[in-house]
Amino acid sequence: MARYAAYATNLDPQRMLDRAPHSPVAGTGWLAGWRLTFGGADLNWDGSLATVVEDPSETVFVMLYEVSDLDERLLDEWEGSALGIYDKIRVRVQTLDGEQVAWTYVLNDYEGGSPSQRYLDDIVSAAAAAGAPDDYVDALRRRPTR
Protein backbone atom coordinates (compact mmCIF):
# COMPACT_ATOMS: atom_id res chain seq x y z
CA MET A 1 0.00 0.00 0.00
CA ALA A 2 1.32 3.43 -0.92
CA ARG A 3 2.26 5.89 1.80
CA TYR A 4 2.27 9.63 1.32
CA ALA A 5 4.00 12.61 2.87
CA ALA A 6 2.49 16.09 2.69
CA TYR A 7 4.91 19.01 2.67
CA ALA A 8 3.89 22.63 3.08
CA THR A 9 7.43 23.92 2.52
CA ASN A 10 9.27 21.21 0.61
CA LEU A 11 7.31 21.89 -2.57
CA ASP A 12 10.31 21.61 -4.88
CA PRO A 13 10.43 18.11 -6.43
CA GLN A 14 14.14 18.52 -7.27
CA ARG A 15 15.02 19.30 -3.65
CA MET A 16 12.91 16.36 -2.53
CA LEU A 17 14.70 14.13 -5.03
CA ASP A 18 17.98 15.03 -3.31
CA ARG A 19 16.55 14.04 0.10
CA ALA A 20 14.33 11.13 -0.91
CA PRO A 21 15.34 9.81 -4.33
CA HIS A 22 12.73 7.03 -4.43
CA SER A 23 9.70 9.18 -3.64
CA PRO A 24 7.96 10.73 -6.64
CA VAL A 25 5.50 13.61 -6.62
CA ALA A 26 1.94 12.33 -6.19
CA GLY A 27 0.20 15.69 -6.63
CA THR A 28 -0.79 18.78 -4.69
CA GLY A 29 -3.55 19.49 -2.24
CA TRP A 30 -4.65 21.42 0.80
CA LEU A 31 -4.55 20.84 4.53
CA ALA A 32 -7.93 22.21 5.54
CA GLY A 33 -8.04 23.43 9.12
CA TRP A 34 -4.30 24.07 9.32
CA ARG A 35 -2.12 27.20 9.13
CA LEU A 36 1.50 27.59 8.01
CA THR A 37 3.53 29.32 10.68
CA PHE A 38 7.02 29.50 12.12
CA GLY A 39 8.52 28.58 15.45
CA GLY A 40 11.56 27.29 17.25
CA ALA A 41 13.32 30.65 17.29
CA ASP A 42 15.40 29.43 20.24
CA LEU A 43 16.81 26.46 18.31
CA ASN A 44 19.67 28.64 17.02
CA TRP A 45 19.00 28.48 13.29
CA ASP A 46 19.18 31.59 11.16
CA GLY A 47 15.52 32.19 11.97
CA SER A 48 12.37 30.34 12.90
CA LEU A 49 11.45 27.05 11.24
CA ALA A 50 8.31 26.35 9.23
CA THR A 51 5.55 24.22 10.67
CA VAL A 52 1.79 23.83 10.52
CA VAL A 53 -0.66 24.24 13.39
CA GLU A 54 -4.34 23.50 13.56
CA ASP A 55 -6.55 26.48 12.72
CA PRO A 56 -10.14 25.81 11.59
CA SER A 57 -10.29 28.99 9.50
CA GLU A 58 -7.13 28.38 7.42
CA THR A 59 -5.76 26.09 4.71
CA VAL A 60 -2.20 25.22 3.70
CA PHE A 61 -1.07 24.32 0.18
CA VAL A 62 0.98 21.08 0.17
CA MET A 63 2.86 18.81 -2.18
CA LEU A 64 2.18 15.10 -1.82
CA TYR A 65 4.97 12.60 -2.32
CA GLU A 66 4.59 8.82 -2.52
CA VAL A 67 7.28 7.71 -0.09
CA SER A 68 9.27 4.46 -0.12
CA ASP A 69 10.29 2.69 3.11
CA LEU A 70 13.93 3.68 2.67
CA ASP A 71 13.07 7.30 1.96
CA GLU A 72 10.73 7.47 4.94
CA ARG A 73 13.67 6.68 7.22
CA LEU A 74 15.83 9.25 5.39
CA LEU A 75 13.14 11.93 5.74
CA ASP A 76 12.66 11.17 9.43
CA GLU A 77 16.38 11.67 9.89
CA TRP A 78 16.45 14.82 7.73
CA GLU A 79 13.54 16.36 9.66
CA GLY A 80 15.13 15.58 13.02
CA SER A 81 12.38 13.26 14.25
CA ALA A 82 14.79 11.20 16.34
CA LEU A 83 16.16 14.40 17.88
CA GLY A 84 12.66 15.59 18.77
CA ILE A 85 12.80 18.67 16.51
CA TYR A 86 9.81 17.60 14.41
CA ASP A 87 7.08 15.07 15.15
CA LYS A 88 5.47 13.07 12.37
CA ILE A 89 1.66 13.13 12.42
CA ARG A 90 -1.08 11.84 10.13
CA VAL A 91 -3.25 14.35 8.30
CA ARG A 92 -5.96 14.35 5.66
CA VAL A 93 -5.08 16.19 2.46
CA GLN A 94 -7.83 17.52 0.20
CA THR A 95 -6.93 16.86 -3.46
CA LEU A 96 -8.84 17.19 -6.72
CA ASP A 97 -9.30 13.41 -6.59
CA GLY A 98 -10.66 13.41 -3.02
CA GLU A 99 -9.15 12.99 0.39
CA GLN A 100 -5.70 11.41 0.82
CA VAL A 101 -4.24 10.32 4.16
CA ALA A 102 -0.61 11.34 4.53
CA TRP A 103 1.86 12.29 7.18
CA THR A 104 3.49 15.63 7.75
CA TYR A 105 6.09 16.93 10.15
CA VAL A 106 5.16 19.46 12.83
CA LEU A 107 7.66 21.42 14.87
CA ASN A 108 7.97 20.27 18.46
CA ASP A 109 8.47 23.78 19.82
CA TYR A 110 6.67 27.03 20.46
CA GLU A 111 5.13 29.03 17.64
CA GLY A 112 6.69 32.43 17.15
CA GLY A 113 9.55 34.30 15.59
CA SER A 114 10.30 35.00 11.97
CA PRO A 115 12.12 32.99 9.33
CA SER A 116 15.23 34.21 7.58
CA GLN A 117 14.63 36.02 4.29
CA ARG A 118 16.48 33.27 2.41
CA TYR A 119 14.36 30.51 3.98
CA LEU A 120 11.13 32.36 3.20
CA ASP A 121 12.30 33.07 -0.37
CA ASP A 122 12.87 29.32 -0.85
CA ILE A 123 9.35 28.56 0.40
CA VAL A 124 7.78 31.27 -1.80
CA SER A 125 9.66 30.15 -4.93
CA ALA A 126 8.77 26.52 -4.38
CA ALA A 127 5.09 27.33 -3.76
CA ALA A 128 4.90 29.37 -6.98
CA ALA A 129 6.66 26.64 -8.99
CA ALA A 130 4.33 23.99 -7.54
CA GLY A 131 1.27 25.85 -8.77
CA ALA A 132 0.00 27.37 -5.55
CA PRO A 133 -2.60 30.09 -6.22
CA ASP A 134 -1.21 33.60 -6.65
CA ASP A 135 -3.00 34.94 -3.55
CA TYR A 136 -1.45 32.16 -1.43
CA VAL A 137 2.04 32.89 -2.81
CA ASP A 138 1.55 36.65 -2.29
CA ALA A 139 0.50 36.07 1.34
CA LEU A 140 3.65 34.00 1.89
CA ARG A 141 5.77 36.71 0.30
CA ARG A 142 4.36 39.36 2.69
CA ARG A 143 5.35 37.46 5.85
CA PRO A 144 7.83 39.23 8.10
CA THR A 145 11.40 37.95 8.13
CA ARG A 146 14.26 38.20 10.49
DSSP 74-92: HHHHHTTTTTTSEEEEEEE
Q: Is residue 90 part of a domain?
A: yes
Q: Is residue 99 part of a domain?
A: yes
Q: Is residue 66 part of a domain?
A: yes
For residue range 104-124, list pLDDT tens digits in order.
999 999 999 999 999 999 999
- Whole-model pTM: value is 0.92
Number of independent structural domains in the chain = 1
Interatomic CA distance for residues 146 and 144, integer angstroms: 7
For residue range 27-75, list pLDDT tens digits in order.
999 999 999 999 998 776 789 999 999 999 999 999 999 999 999 999 9
Residue 51 near residue 108 (C-beta atoms within 8 A): no
CATH code at position 13: 3.10.490.10
Q: Is residue 24 part of a domain?
A: yes
Per the structure, the complete domain to which residue 90 belongs is given by 4-134
Interatomic CA distance for residues 52 and 84, integer angstroms: 16
Nearest to 119 by CA among 110, 111, 127, 107: 127
